[in-house]
Amino acid sequence: MTEPDWDKIAKLEKAIMEKYGERAIINPKSLWNEEKEKEYLNQIKALSNQSFDEYNLVEGGGFLLSNKLFTSDINRICVSCNKYCLNKGDNLYLNKFRCCFNCYVQYVEDREQKWFEKLKHLEGKE
C-alpha cells in the first residue's frame, strides 16, 4: 500500500472546515463521555423494550397473531347505511360521526348537533 498524501488530506480538511465549520472535522469521539454513553444505552434499552412489547404474539385459532391486530377499536361500519368502509377518506367521518363520507354529506353536514343527539339515542337502545 502507498503512504497517504498528508498534504492532500490537510488541504481537504481545511476546505471542509471553511465550508462547513470546525465541528465538521472534529473527531466525534472527542465529544463523547461516560454520561452520554450511559444515557445512550438507557435509550437503547427503552426502545428495545418498547419494540418488543409491540411484537408480543397471542395464540388465536391455532395461529400466533400479533397484539396489534387486537388493539383496533375502530368500528368500520357506517351506522346510517350499514356498509363496511374500507376507504381511508372515511376514517375521519367514522371516528367523529360514526358514518361514511356519503352519509355525512347526505345526513350530517350542517346538522351535527341533531346527529349527535340521534347517536346518543341509538346508543341508549343498545
If asked whether residues 60 and 107 sit together in one domain, one would say no
Residue 107 domain flag: yes
The position carrying cell 409491540 is 54
Residue 83 domain flag: no
Judge whether 65 and 58 are in contact, CB under 8 Å.
Answer: yes
If asked whether residues 25 and 62 sit together in one domain, one would say yes
If asked whether residues 93 and 65 sit together in one domain, one would say no
Prediction pTM value: 0.41
Count of structural domains within the chain? 2
If asked whether residues 92 and 54 sit together in one domain, one would say no
Which domain, by its residues, includes 61?
Answer: 6-69
Residue 36 domain flag: yes
Residue 98 domain flag: yes
Per-residue pLDDT of the chain (126 residues; tens, 9 = 90+): 688 899 999 999 999 999 999 988 898 888 889 999 999 999 999 888 776 655 677 776 777 777 666 655 557 888 888 888 878 778 888 888 888 889 989 988 888 888 888 888 877 765
* C-alpha angle 2-7-10 in degrees, rounded to nearest 5: 115
